[in-house]
Every structure is written in C-alpha cells, then in structure tokens.
C-alpha cells in the first residue's frame, strides 16, 4: 500500500470520525492556532450522542462551546490555561482547570489525565506521506504517540513547519479534510507605557543574547527596541508577529547559540498570517515538543539566555503573581517559571519580569505590600531577579528583604509610592529612604499630579 492508499483509507467525515469516541472518554485537543475547530464543531452539533466526555485543551483562542448550558452531562471542559471564553466559568466551578508548568504538561496529560482520544490539526501530507503539526507542537504532537484513537483535521492553511513536528499518515486513525483559516492573534498597538518598559528591557539585552519572549504588548514593545542589537538568538515557548521583522532583518540570526545554531526554536506560534507565512517551509525555524523546548536544563544549554515575562502583581518581597486575581484564575503559569529558571541556570543568563506599574486604568498599583488574598504565587521570590516597569528596573537577587522592598518602591507608580513607603515603615520600623532620596521621589509624585491635572484641563 502506498501512503496515498493509506491516507485515503482513513479519510472520513467529521461525523464518522467522532463515532470512535465513547461515553466517559477523555479527549485531548490541539490548542491556540492549531485547535481543530472543524472536528470540534461536529462534536458540538452532535452533543446528544455523548455523555460525560472530557475535553482537555490547554488554551483556546475561540469560544468554549462545551460550557453552554445544553452541554451539561454531555461534555466537561478541562483547560490548562484560562482564556476570555472560560475564565468566568473556571471561577464559578462550571469549567475544570488543571495547573502545571508548561514543560510538564505533556507528562501530566499522558500519565495523570490519560486521554484515550487525541484530536489535532495538521497540514496536508507531503510527497512522502508526512503531515506537519504546523503552529502547535507543544503538548499536541506527543498525544498522537500514545492515544488509542488519533483523529486529524487536515487543513491547507496549516503551515508546513520543521523540527520535531511531522508524522507519517500511517500513525493516525482518521483524517478529516476541512480547510479553514487558522485563528489569529493580531498585533495590538503598543502603548507609551509598554514602549518605556520595552526600552528598560532592551537595556538589559546584549548583542548575542538568546531571547525568550511571550506574546502581547510588552514582548512586541521589547522587539521594537532591538533594532540596534545584533546576533540575537530566539528559543521561546511561543512567539507572536513581533519577532518576524527582526528575523527577516537578521537581527535575530541565532548565530551565537550553543544549541540549534542558526535556528529559531519554538513550541508554538501564536500570531497572524504574517508569522505563519514566515514559518511555513522555513528551515531556519524549528518547532519541538514543549517538554524539550521549556525544559530548564535544555534552555540553559544556551549561554546568555534572557527571559522576558509579564505579571499582574508583585509584592514587596518580590513574589510574582501572573495567573490569578484573588481566587479567580486569569491565565496560567505557562512557561514563565520554566524560562525564569532556565535563564537563571544559563551561563550569563538573566530573567526579567516586566509589567506596567498600574492596572485598571491607573487605579491600582501592581506593586503591593501584600499579594491579594486568594492569589497564587506564580514565580517565587527566590527565582525572581529583574523586575521592570515603565519607571525603571529593580534587581532583586542577592538583595535583603529591605533592599528588595526599596528597589520595588522606586519603580512603583509615583502615586502609590507614599502608601508603599508607609507599609515599609510599618514592617521594618525604619525610614526606607534618606531625605534627599525622598525629595526626588516625592518630586516625581508632584510632577505626576500636575501632569494629571494638565491632562484633565
């Protein structure tokens, strides 16, 4: 049998493929830009055929139709990263959430959640009968190695990517051909605050460093500040469109890496067609499973790794909260701790946590005396080194409790510094700053108050 015969013998409709799913099954599906929406739609449309089927998905960029009231008793959603379409339901108990470092997720799914069925999205087969997992290799590819039933949506829009992300058609149970554009993460305009944060982060990045950047405004602002650097490397769990121009211009050329020299290493691509077109058939970009990409020991094989991640809150001890607001799950730890640790272990490496100094349109400070009750610490204080806001850089490793608190107060928004100073005095029974330092800091408070008045007039 040729590969074409094998492929054709497995080609079915989505309705036929989902008949392989039994009541009570656990079904793991691809995430992000690689979520197999075509097959998932068939499950939703035929929900009455199923009872208590658990859908395991890390992060959806779309809706979470599994949570509609009529799905009760038919589907349960278990996610590993909260998103806009399921955050509320995780908080009110209608959606399950499993917490794990990203590099451990393949093991957690395989050995603890134990799904029987895997549903993924792949590119059409090449001339040798190999399909590519395209934008999402992460935990997705691994599930096709051990699940009893493996169903793939074959979609011509899935880019053909290189690395450990191809599989022969013989290794799948069913193929369902549905072409549809991939979900996209569009670049948003970079704010002035993010631009300032980007400048401070860029000041910590040297020529030849190997970067981890996430997605969103801050990573894009960092990218915008890297045009005077050279020979940068990229080894990242996921990236967005922000890196494409730097890669095309050769600012990121991966020349100085110790592993995968000359190649970008990713676990997933979370961008628009700009990024997907760049990674399509591009041998200089490799996608690998996340237990490899995010393994701190693997990250640390490169020298001068700089990790840049964001957060929601930092307390005066340097404890970082990135994925919860009180008892509400906002996102997940993702690969934050994996890369903070990998960068710390890397020779010459640096980890950066970057965030705007305030949230809720400036009404609350992200630097706080105590983290909000109910919030979970995402990155422990012992792991954290550089914290960056639009007001500067606080370097925390090797600092005493008092020095940490003072460094963080200095990069808090001026409006909130007097309160933080009071809290410092209560905790340590001493003044944190000299009269001269206070004069400068309170001068900045006045400046901000005047700025605000001027902006309102």
Q: Which of 224, 359, 376, 442 binds ligand COA (CB under 6 A)?
A: 359
Backbone angle region of 348, left / alpha / beta, with phi > 0 → left and psi within -120 to 50 → alpha: left
> Whose CA is closest to 100, among 120, 85, 78, 122?
78
Q: For residues 98 and 57, give the distance between their C-alpha atoms in angstroms, rounded to a whole number.
A: 10
Other beta carbons less than 10 A from residue 380's beta carbon: 13
CB closer to ligand COA, 151 vs 238: 238
The answer to whether 187 contacts ligand COA (rule: CB under 6 A) is: no
The answer to whether 314 contacts ligand COA (rule: CB under 6 A) is: no
Q: Which of 89, 286, 323, 390 binds ligand COA (CB under 6 A)?
A: 323
Q: How many residues bind ligand COA (CB under 6 A)?
A: 23
Q: Which two tokens stand for residue 444?
A: 């900045």
- Quote the radius of gyration of the chain (alpha carbons, Å): 24
Q: What are phi and psi of 56, to 5 degrees?
A: -105, 115
Please name the residue that has the structure tokens 């979370």. Answer: 270
The answer to whether 152 contacts ligand COA (rule: CB under 6 A) is: no
Other beta carbons less than 10 A from residue 298's beta carbon: 18
Contact 115, 151 (CB under 8 A): no
Q: Which two tokens stand for residue 90?
A: 């995780």
Q: Which of 61, 204, 312, 411 binds ligand COA (CB under 6 A)?
A: 312
Contact 279, 285 (CB under 8 A): yes
The answer to whether 370 contacts ligand COA (rule: CB under 6 A) is: no
Cα 407 to Cα 218, 441, 444: the distances in Å are 21, 12, 16
CB of 24 to ligand COA, least distance (A): 32
Helix H or strand E encompassing 405: helix 401-410
Enzyme catalytic residues: 237
Q: Which of 83, 118, 272, 331 binds ligand COA (CB under 6 A)?
A: 331
The answer to whether 78 contacts ligand COA (rule: CB under 6 A) is: no
CB of 265 to ligand COA, least distance (A): 15
The answer to whether 335 contacts ligand COA (rule: CB under 6 A) is: yes
What is the CA 309 to chain-centroid distance, rounded? Answer: 9
Q: Which of 29, 91, 193, 313 binds ligand COA (CB under 6 A)?
A: 313
Residues 203-222 that bind ligand COA (CB under 6 A): 214-216
CB of 309 to ligand COA, least distance (A): 4
The answer to whether 376 contacts ligand COA (rule: CB under 6 A) is: no
Q: For residues 415 and 432, give the distance between their C-alpha atoms in angstroms, rounded to a whole number.
A: 17
The answer to whether 260 contacts ligand COA (rule: CB under 6 A) is: no
The answer to whether 325 contacts ligand COA (rule: CB under 6 A) is: yes
Q: Which stretch binds ligand COA (CB under 6 A): 41-49, 119-127, 247-255, 328-336?
A: 328-336
Q: For residues 345 and 75, give the distance between their C-alpha atoms in angstroms, rounded to a whole number.
A: 42
CB of 356 to ligand COA, least distance (A): 6
Longest dimension (CA), the chain: 84
CB closer to ligand COA, 42 vs 299: 299
The answer to whether 65 contacts ligand COA (rule: CB under 6 A) is: no
Please name the residue that has the structure tokens 């650097």. Answer: 229
Q: Which of 330, 386, 416, 424 binds ligand COA (CB under 6 A)?
A: 330
Please name the residue that has the structure tokens 């005095």. Answer: 425
Q: Which of 324, 336, 344, 351 binds ligand COA (CB under 6 A)?
A: 336
CB of 246 to ligand COA, least distance (A): 17
Q: What number of residues does the chain have?
A: 457
Instruction: Please report, as ranges, the residues that interact with ligand COA according to CB under 6 A.
Output: 214-216, 237-238, 309-313, 322-323, 325, 330-331, 333-336, 359-360, 364, 366
């Amino acid at each position: 049998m040729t590969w074409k015969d094998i492929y054709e013998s497995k080609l079915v409709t989505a309705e036929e493929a989902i008949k392989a799913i039994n009541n009570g099954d656990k079904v793991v599906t691809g995430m992000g830009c690689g979520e197999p929406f075509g097959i998932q739609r068939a499950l939703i449309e035929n929900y009455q055929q199923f009872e208590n089927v658990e859908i395991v998905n890390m992060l959806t960029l779309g809706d979470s139709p599994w949570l509609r009231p009529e799905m009760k008793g038919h589907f349960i959603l278990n996610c590993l990263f909260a998103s806009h379409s399921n955050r509320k339901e995780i908080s009110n108990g209608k959606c399950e959430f499993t917490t794990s470092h990203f590099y451990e997720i393949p093991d957690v799914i395989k050995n603890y959640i134990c799904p029987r069925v895997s549903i993924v999205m792949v590119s059409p087969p090449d001339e040798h009968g190999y399909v590519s997992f395209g934008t999402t290799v992460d935990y997705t590819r691994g599930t096709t190695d051990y699940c009893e039933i493996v169903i793939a949506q074959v979609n011509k829009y899935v880019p053909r990517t290189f690395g450990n992300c191809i599989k022969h058609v013989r290794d799948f149970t069913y193929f369902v051909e549905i072409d549809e554009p991939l979900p996209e993460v569009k670049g948003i305009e970079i704010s002035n605050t993010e631009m300032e944060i980007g400048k401070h982060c860029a000041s910590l990045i040297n020529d030849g460093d190997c970067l981890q950047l996430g997605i969103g405004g801050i990573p894009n602002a960092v990218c915008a500040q890297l045009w005077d650097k050279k020979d940068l490397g990229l080894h990242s769990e996921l990236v967005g469109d922000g890196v494409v121009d730097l890669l095309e211009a050769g600012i990121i050329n991966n020349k100085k890496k110790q592993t995968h020299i000359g190649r970008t290493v990713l676990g997933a691509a979370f961008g628009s067609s700009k990024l997907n077109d760049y990674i399509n058939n591009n041998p200089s970009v490799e996608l690998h499973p996340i237990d490899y990409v995010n393994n701190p020991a693997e990250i640390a094989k490169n020298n001068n790794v700089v990790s840049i991640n964001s957060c929601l809150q930092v307390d005066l001890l340097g404890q970082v909260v990135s994925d919860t607001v009180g008892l509400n799950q906002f996102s997940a730890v993702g690969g934050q701790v994996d890369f903070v640790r990998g960068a710390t272990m890397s020779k010459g490496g640096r980890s950066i946590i970057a965030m705007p100094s305030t949230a809720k349109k400036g009404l609350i400070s992200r630097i706080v005396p105590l983290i909000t009750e109910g919030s979970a610490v995402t990155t422990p204080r012992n792991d954290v080194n550089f914290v960056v806001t639009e007001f500067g850089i606080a370097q925390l490793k090797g600092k005493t409790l008092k020095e940490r608190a003072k460094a963080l107060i200095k990069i808090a928004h001026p409006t909130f510094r007097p309160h933080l100073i009071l809290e410092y005095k209560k905790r340590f029974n001493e003044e944190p700053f000299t009269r001269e330092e206070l004069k400068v800091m309170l001068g900045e408070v006045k400046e901000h108050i005047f700025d605000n008045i001027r902006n309102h007039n």
